Structure 1
């Protein structure tokens, strides 16, 4: 299906959106100039993806360059005794070989695969109308689709510097002052008014989309996106081309989903996000309590869709892991924050496995300086601005000296977790 143009009216402003055939948020992911068309691997239709029984057990992180069609056990070579080990080692057949293939084929495939297996399918934004009404530092947001309406609001904190200013949209609260002093606006919204942190189908999102198999993380991500729409229409003091999104813990998972599913977001800033965020499904017990797919789904099954629950007890059959989510954000920026004293989110696994594995893809795409790992002392959810230098680099083009590849007391990467790194596709 070709790309389609459409627009949604926001206030009195019509915003052109470029919608992709694969439902991945308001815009298709940006990519460098494409020199040639490439032939992509077949992608299953929604609801017809392989179940865990049709996928090999992968005890190490899945190869990000291997399309799903060549990962299933009924694919070519799938019956070979060495199939699973070849897949894990980067020896699978028909791997992505060029950045053109990545941007045209693999990245869109990952975006759809993650919606199928984890997030639920993002609503068709082309059918939404968003109305923004500003009163002082409050923006009231009204979204209508299919004859149904959901309402919530956002609160502005604007710097005193010259506008338009870059902005960080956050949920769950953060220390605003360091950002305001740096000339960065902070906008918050009450995520519980978008969707509750429970099985209850109330709030603005469910007022419109009740009955769909969509996780709360995606509903909260939708809230981030609709806030950005409202800022575009009603807050000229904010620059909508320089946008960060952040949250911590379960809200860090939501910020990650928001950055993944909307290419207008410049910088994604998940903090202490854990499993279903940037904590690995594999290698889940490296630090703190053992946070797994199983106990996460048992404790808060509503965060993600029902399909992910079918992998309970079979997480090593998932054809992706947290590094795949991170890599799919490229070439846009990502900074990952974890505290070494955090007992809840396997910070070490994120730092020594997920981050360096994702950076392999960022480096290969030539945007290695757009991904950062922030390993700090302290525990769960430090929102005081430890990542701020990297934020100023991305949103304000500042020169910084802080080394965001330093894994601190965790030492170096655990390369045995991603053996395919020895087979990164060579570029001409």
Structure 2
């Protein structure tokens, strides 16, 4: 394998060579072209440091009207469209919430306790939450080149992209058994696996989201391991067929995944649901819902009415942006709905373009071998290039679209919206104002006492399900340290806009200024206690 280290090569040259190669191959395809805005975008986009960057954002208000076309991925729930790239964070959070409500079911926040081990051959996970515990593991195959710590690719069900190529490129392979976390072949009122051992056998969340939750917990353990063997900031995921559906869900709902690579995922995976309902030979929505409890229970209301969905899969594609996404599809098997897959990919690519990350998405259905989940030579080079770019950070090859003429979707038939030109406004350093919580913890203070020579005041944020947000504003000092405490069994699980450290099993947060502003926030899991309130213990300047 030759590693692409030519970072100084002009992007235009790279794209020009790609176009020439496609032309010589005689493929019927759409080639992603780099615009001037995209050319200025950074390559080697890093994954997020947290599972969900928008955990502090307000929940969407209302339900969008029924729409026979793909919903506008740039429109907020209040009807306005975003105008800056900084707006995307909370619009993504709205999209995520709608997807959980109607398609997948809720993905719980990080559990109260996640522990485990990482070795050269295995990862173990032990989870405790809401008074229940479960465990599972995944095997590890180290790469055949490079040195530790290694980037790694989760292979869902042991069935995904060419693992020999992944390991030869310098990434470890983590073989993840999703059935240990969410078992197939179970009725919806008696789901089984580690996820349902904790959250209940009748939980309405589908097993695709349970599988995604399982990978997130594996990443938690890798983060805690100290990074001597595997890198938590350079993970990818792949899977084929039903496991392609799962791999897609993993990448959509955990922003720490740097590279998502679903293969032939079919209905409930990448293909646009509205389009699938009209694509001859594709697996019907009712069939995908009934075959296995892949989708959340709430999706039963939409199997005959996809137009009523507030979101569609092109927005799930967009939720991966600006991280790496390599979608592989098979146009030879009608059941897989590759036409609808190309529709969703083209629609989601508009989000990538608006964010200046058009080079970070690749779609490839132009393949000769029609065998389901075959290891294809056409995908080997782009697989290597995506690993180099997003996991090893040594490549800068532009993404491309190669759509087979057998299953070529037409995005213009499915949208009545245009892609906006988003401004490069500064990313907000404070969370947006949240609407009043529906059931705030009783007596949450708005003006806790001052400490030292600075003052810290709290404002309650959104409350949903089993968790709530809190924003803290510091005045009187540009450099500060604030200590906040919650009452056990409540636990602080997510923080933003500061340098955080947690102690007391998540009950005590020390947040220090990192120069990004004087407001920070955190998410608290209630863990059955909805009446306790957070308290500010001290505010120290300097």
Where on the TM-score scale, by shorter chain, does this alignment land: which range?
0.7 to 0.9
Tell me the equivalent position of 2:53.
Answer: 28
Residues 313-348 of structure 1, C-alpha deviation per residue, up to 9 Å, x if partnerless?
A: 111221221101111221222111101223321112
Query: Which deviations, in whole Å up to 9, do the C-alpha atoms of 1:368-404 show, x marking residues without a partner?
Result: 1111102233332235664513232222234476862
Residue matched to 2:131: 147
CA–CA separation in structure 1 for the residues paired with 2:234 and 2:49? 18
Residue pair 1:169, 1:245 contacting (<8 A) in 2 also: yes
- Residue 418 of structure 1 deviates from its aligned partner by 3.5
Alignment of 1:216-235 (within 5 A): 216-234=207-225
- Offset, 1:292: 2.4
The answer (yes or no) to whether the contact 2:222–2:230 under 8 Å persists in 1 is: yes
Larger radius of gyration: 2
Residue 202 (structure 1) shift: 2.2
3-state SS of 1:303 partner: coil
- Which stretch of structure 1 is more off in the superposition, 192-201 or 390-399? 390-399
Aligned counterpart, 1:293 = 285
Q: Structure 2 vs 1, CA of residues 269 and 233 (structure 1 numbering), >3 Å: closer, same or farther?
A: same
CA gap of 1:97–1:189, structure 2 versus 1, over 3 A, is: same
**Alpha-carbon distance in 1 for matches of 2:397, 2:118:** 39
**Post-superposition shift, 1:312?**
2.3
Structure 1's 136 and 162: CA in aligned 2 closer, same or farther, altered over 3 A? closer
Task: State the 1:101 CA deviation.
Answer: 2.0
Select between 176-185 and 280-289 the one with higher mean Cα deviation: 280-289
Q: Secondary structure at the match of 1:183?
A: coil
Q: Equivalent of 2:354, from 351, 361, 364?
A: 364
Determine the structure 1 residue equivalent to 2:178: 191
Q: Quick one: structure 1 residues 363 and 113, their matched pair in 2 at CA, closer, same or farther if it must change by over 3 Å? A: same
In 1, Cα distance between equivalents of 2:295 and 2:151: 30
Rounded Cα–Cα distance in structure 2 between residues aligned with 1:419 and 1:267:
27
Counterpart of 2:88 in structure 1 is 102
Q: Does 1:373 align with 2:363?
A: yes
CA distance in 2, matches of 1:130, 1:403: 36
1:171 matches 2:156: yes
3-state SS of 2:401 partner? coil
Cα pair 1:41 1:67 within 8 Å, conserved: no
CA contact (8 A) 1:255 1:268 kept: yes
Identify the residue that residue 62 of structure 1 maps to in structure 2.
71
2:103 counterpart (115, 118, 139): 118
- Of residues 319, 327, 331, the one that matches 2:318 is 327
Verify the 8 A CA contact 2:260 2:326 in the aligned structure 1.
yes
Distance 1:237 1:412 in 2: 42
The 3 A distance-change label for structure 1 pair 153 and 69 is: same
Quote the residue 1:392 is aligned against. Answer: 388
1:204 aligned residue:
194
Partners of 2:277 and 2:285 within 8 A in 1: no
| Residues matched between the structures, number | 361
CA distance in 2, matches of 1:222, 1:232: 15
1:202/1:41 Cα in 2 relative to 1: closer, same or farther (>3 Å)?
closer
Measure the CA separation in 2 of the matches of 1:42 and 1:341: 41
Give deviations 1:96-131, integer Å, cap 9, x for gaps: 22222222x311100111111111111131x43122
Looking at structure 2, the residues matched to 102 and 132 of structure 1 have their Cα atoms a distance apart, in angstroms, of 34
Measure the CA separation in 2 of the matches of 1:41 and 1:400. 36
* Residues 1:69 and 1:293: Cα distance change in structure 2 (over 3 Å): farther
Q: How does 1:218-297 map to 2 (within 5 A)?
A: 218-234=209-225, 236-284=228-276, 289-297=281-289
Deviation (angstroms), 1:138: 2.1
Q: Which runs of 4+ in 1 moved over 4 A?
A: 285-288, 400-403, 410-413
SS of residue matched to 2:276: coil
Could you tell me how far 1:178 is from its partner in structure 2? Answer: 1.3
> Corresponding residue for 1:415?
411
- Which protein has the bigger helix share? 1
Structure 2 counterpart of 1:345 = 336
SS in 2 for 1:282: helix
Whether the aligned pair in 1 keeps the contact of 2:120 and 2:141 (CA below 8 Å) is no
Inter-CA distance 294–206: structure 2 relative to 1 (3 Å threshold): same
**What TM-score do the two structures reach when normalised by structure 2?**
0.62
**Runs of 5+ consecutive residues of structure 1 not aligned to the other structure:** 1-16, 20-25, 31-39, 71-93
The 3 A distance-change label for structure 1 pair 42 and 121 is closer
